[in-house]
Amino acid sequence: MRQLEFTEFYRAERDRCLRAVLAVVGDRQLAEDLVSEAFTRAWMSWQKVRRHPAPRAWIVRTALNIRVSWWRRRRREVELGNAYEVADATGSDPPVDPKLLAVLRQLPQRQREVIVFRVLLDLDTEATARALGMARGTVTAHLSRAVATLRGQLVTEQSQEGGA
């Protein structure tokens, strides 16, 4: 029963979690490694994770925490580079637009994380605040700044494409 429940969760949520982590870290291979490790840890603690109010958020937060731990051990920044790939859409969710990802990677880390949890994982402000360990007002402020930046970048980009 435990294995079947976890397998169903994994199949239903893996791609969505991968896209969320990819939006934050910007490297397909790294995102896949982080999500795989997070799902492994979820399996090891499935009794706890299955009762979590947002298991998807638990996976993404764990993946991002693994990245931070990895980075601290190596004491160097992970390069985003120009190769910003998008996960293939094998589930019902469409892939994230590469243009959107290019603009997302220009946002500060915390703003990217808030966008991922609020928009890609569809969590409310309270759940996002709990998952990221910040106050609700901080989530709202980061979201507002990120949306303003994204809107400014994407609208400017669309108007330039339309005028060309």
Supply the pLDDT for residue 45: 94
Element (H, E) at 2: helix 2-25
Whether residue 123 contacts residue 54, with contact meaning beta carbons closer than 8 Å, is answered with: yes
Using an 8 Å Cβ cutoff, are 136 and 61 in contact? no
CB atoms within 10 A of CB 25: 21
Query: How many degrees, rounded to 5, is the angle at CA 23 between CA 141 and CA 159?
Result: 75
Domain residue extents for the chain = 2-163
CATH of 2-163, one of 3.10.310, 1.20.140, 3.30.420, 1.10.10: 1.20.140
Which residues of the chain fall short of a pLDDT of 70? 71-96, 157-164
Which pLDDT score, from 0 to 100, does residue 135 have? Answer: 94
**Tell me, what's the pLDDT at 95?**
67
Q: At what angle do helices 28-44 and 2-25 cross, to 10 degrees?
A: 150
Sign of the torsion angle spanned by Cα atoms 142, 55, 12, 15? positive
